[in-house]
Each structure stands twice: as C-alpha cells, then as structure tokens.
Amino acid sequence: MIRFAYQFLPYMKLVFATNNPNKLAEVQKMLPSTIQLLSLKDIDCFDDIEETANTLEGNAQLKANYITQKFGHDCFADDTGLEVESLHNAPGVFSARYAGLENDSEKNMQKLLSELNDKPNRKAQFRTAISLNLQSKHFVFEGICKGEILSKKQGKKGFGYDPVFKPEGSNKSFAEMTSEDKNKISHRGKAIQQLVQFLMNYKK
C-alpha cells in the first residue's frame, strides 16, 4: 500500500466527486488517515454531473467545479481515458461510453478487441487527470501508465478495461493484480500520489 510520512499533513475533509464505488475504494486505500474522503452520497449529491468536455482535464474540472459551486465543499474529481496508439488515441475521453451511453465495461472491451483484431500495434496507455478545488484555488495533476492491450481478457479483479490491459514490465493484466500492486504503478495511483504530495506541502 502506498504510504508517505503523513504526520505533518493537516486534517481536512475532501469530496471525491464520483459515483463509482470501485474508484472510491481504490482511492481511499491510498489516502492518509488525516484526510477524510467523502463521496457524493455522503454529501447527498445524487445529481448526474454531465461530462461534456472534450478532454480528460476538462471533464475532471467540470465535476469538481459543480460540487464546489453547488455544495461549497473542497473537492477533487478525476477522469480517466484509455489511449490506444493504433486507434489514434481512442477511445480516450470516451472510454466509459466507447460502445454506448450505458457505460457497459464488457461491451467496451469487446469493441476494443474487435477494433484491434487486425492491428499488430497494441501499444496503449491509461491516463488520469485530477482536478482539485481547494480554498478557492484550482490545481491539476496527471498520471500515466503505459502498456499494451491483450488479445483476450485475463483476470477477474479491477474494473473497466483492466482485464485487457497489461502494464509495461509486468506479465499480469491489471485485473490479475491485487489492488495494492496495481495502485503502485497505475495511472490513478500516480496521479493520487502527486495529489497527496501536494497536500503535504500545501500552505493555507
């Protein structure tokens, strides 16, 4: 599990603007006890926050701004995309709805595998952008994990495209890793590490 010297990090509450319980649990494991992470449910936000930007950074900022402006909380939000080299970095910002608006992970993976069926180049990267609104200031963090798309699903852990993505330097897909091992190298893990390091040094 990712740990830093958190004893100097001041106690604070932060909203993580997501309705995805998998992402929430994953991020909670990476944060110190001095940060109380609140979900959208915790602040009674059941709104459907539209992600209408054409970049990951833009979508993350839309979500963080919505919570800060409507509920008055310090907040961070993320958006993640899978960028496949031979598909001109698709599905990218449309990763969650690649096969349709229903955000069906199985259909997304099957469409991706079909698109890559005749392509020898299977290089890809996951990229996460985090937008943080803290005390009326705005900050952005980014994490990237390079790898390749497998020819078929491997593993049953994780979520999203994890069963078909194998990171560089590993013989396992994300879906075959423990959450602890995945967090050490993943795009979201790297972005969260930057966020936490920033908070450790943040001066009010």
Joined together, the tokens standing for residue 50 give 């539209």
d(CA 16, CA 30): 13
- The alpha carbon of residue 63 and the mean position of all alpha carbons in its chain are separated, in whole angstroms, by 13
For the annotated catalytic residues, the residue numbers are: 79
d(CA 106, CA 141): 29
User: What separation in angstroms does the CA of 85 have from each of 98, 123, 125, 197?
Assistant: 16, 6, 8, 31
Per-position b or e across 165-189, b if 16+ CB within 10 A of its CB: bbbeeeeebbbbbebeebbebbbbb
